[in-house]
Amino acid sequence: MSVAVSQIDEVKTGPWAGGKSPFNVEYGKMMMWFFLLSDAFTFSSLLISYGSLRFSMPHWPAADKVFQSVPGLLESGAPLVFVGLMTFILIMSSVTMVLAVEAGHRNSKKEVVTWMILTIIGGFMFLGCQALEWTHLHSEGFWWSSIPTNPEKLGEFFNKLANGGLVPEANQVTSAHAFANLFFTITGFHGFHVFTGVIINIIITVNVLMGTYEKRGSYLMIEKVGLYWHFVDLVWVFVFTFFYLV
Amino acid sequence: MSSEVTAVHAHDEEHESMTKGRIWKVFFILLGITCVEFIIALWLVPKGIIAGNIANPIYIILTLFKAFYIVAYFMHLKFEKMGLIMAIIVPILFIIGLILVLTNESHYWIVLRHILN
């Protein structure tokens, strides 16, 4: 015997009526997406301030003059080569991360561990390269609120000097300061993300080795840390374009 | 817990498309785009085949392509529900609006500096 149900008490079935999850993703993964969105806002605010400061200056240090060394090999004359290597390392470690996720879908513990370890190695290699890059720039005199003190040395980092002079003029000194601060802040914040990413990857790999996800029946956690790792790669794609190419 | 497992299963069926071959294909697309950027920056601009102010928008467009491939395929966003895609993409569009507004504003600073000098 059927009981009459008033319309308001009927079981809702639609995704936006409370019947089932409208996003159809697990809670932790959804929260990772929203965290990444908020992190994207933070990076955007940094990159937007970089863009607007740079646009407001008549001169800006030329990327292929500032970044033209390969630490340990060439002192100058190789613009973009070292950062190209860094980009390749990061994209490569992103690929090993997706391969770990893919292995996780097949519940293949051994493969997940292999790919995760390769991802971690990639992360460390990137951090090492960044340390070399920072050391090199620091040795040239760039640091937070610090630029080369010798005006002629500073002039070498510009494509052309204002008024055809030998030494940079006041607004070029200002823009070199802005460049140094923005470069170390933005790549530093990105490097911090890579560092935390590596730490998280290590923790997750240890968990995989201990069989935590095998017991849980799913390697969804790999996907969540994977999202974070790809985001770090994504941010680098933008940092690379706006600091080294444009 | 059980909800997680069901979510994973639903998920597996949807994501069969992201195979190893597909992953490497996306990798080569990303690598190819980066190589194009290098060719522009190291050969075409220094030789004067492309002017610097034309190269910049090209870099940005290529970067957005790379961002699309990373987010859509590596981060699987393309295979998620439309609701989640919108929740992530729409706020990003507002950021692009902010970029346009602020770069325009900073261009005005340059003009202002000229007037003041």
Please write the tens of the pLDDT for every residue from B63-88: 999 999 999 999 999 999 898 999 99
pLDDT attached to residue B115: 85
Domain ranges of chain A: 69-245
CB-CB: which of A30, A102, A241 is closest to B59?
Answer: A241
Cα-based distances in Å from A32 to A38, A165, A167, A239, B74: 10, 52, 49, 22, 15
| pLDDT value, residue A69 | 86
Asked if A220's CB is within 8 angstroms of B4's CB, the reply is yes
At the top level of CATH, which class does the domain A69-245 belong to?
A: mainly alpha
Could you give the ipTM of this predicted complex?
0.86
Other beta carbons within 10 Å of A230: 24
User: What is the reported pLDDT for A13?
Assistant: 80
When pLDDT is averaged across residues A107-119 and rounded to a whole number, the result is 95
In this prediction, residue A9 carries a pLDDT of 78
When pLDDT is cut at 50, 70 and 90, the band that residue A229 belongs to is: very high
Triad B70, B71, B72: Cα angle to 5°: 100
Q: What is the pLDDT of residues A166-195, one digit of tens each?
A: 778 888 899 999 999 999 999 999 999 999
Give the three-state DSSP class for B62. helix
Cβ proximity of A83 and A240 under 8 Å: yes
Within 8 A of B87 by CB-CB distance, chain A residues are 23, 33-34, 37
Whether B70 and A230 lie within 8 Å, measured CB to CB:
yes
Look at residue B4 in the predicted model and tell me its pLDDT. Answer: 46
CB pair distance less than 8 Å for B110 and A58:
yes
Higher per-residue confidence, A23 vs A32: A32
The CA distance from A241 to the nearest CA of chain B, in Å, is: 7
Mark A32-66 as b/e (b = at least 16 C-beta within 10 Å). bbeebeebbeebbebbbbbbbbbbbbebbbbbbeb
Question: Which tokens belong to B115?
Answer: 């007037």
Tens of pLDDT, residues A57-74? 888 998 888 888 888 777
Cβ contacts of A91 on chain B, cutoff 8 Å: 27, 30-31, 34
- Taking the CA of residue A87 and the nearest CA in chain B, the distance in Å comes to 9
pLDDT at A163: 67
> Rounded CA gap, A165 and A215, in Å?
70
CA dihedral A124, A86, B15, A114 (to 10 degrees): -30
Give me the mean pLDDT over the A136-145 stretch: 93
CB A97 within 8 A of CB A87: no
How many CB pairs (< 8 A) connect A and B?
146
- Quick one: pLDDT at residue A151? 87
Whether residue B14 has pLDDT greater than 60 = no
User: Residue type for A198, please?
Assistant: V
Element (H, E) at B111: helix B82-116
Task: Provide the residue ranges of all domains of chain B, joining segments of one domain with +.
Answer: 1-80, 81-117
Owner of token pair 């890059």: A133
Predicted model pTM: 0.88
8 Å CB contact of A105 and B12: yes
Q: Which residues of A touch B7 (CB under 8 A)?
A: 21, 24-26, 220
Residues 6+ apart with CB under 8 A from A219: A101, A103, A104, A105, A107, A112, A208, A213
Which of A26, A52, A245 lies closest to B7 in CB terms?
A26
- Mean pLDDT across the stretch A109-135? 96
What CA–CA distances, in Å, run from A58 to A12, A64, A173, A175, B110? 61, 18, 12, 9, 7
Q: How far is B49 from chain A (nearest CA, A)?
A: 16
On the question of pLDDT at A10 being above 70, the answer is yes
Q: Say whether pLDDT at B11 is over 90.
A: no
CB contact under 8 A, B27 and A95: yes
- Structure confidence at residue B87 (pLDDT): 93
Q: pLDDT band at B18, cuts 50/70/90?
A: confident
pLDDT over 90 for what percent of chain A? 67
Rounded average pLDDT over A190-214: 96
**Is the CB of A99 inside 8 Å of chain B's CB atoms?**
yes
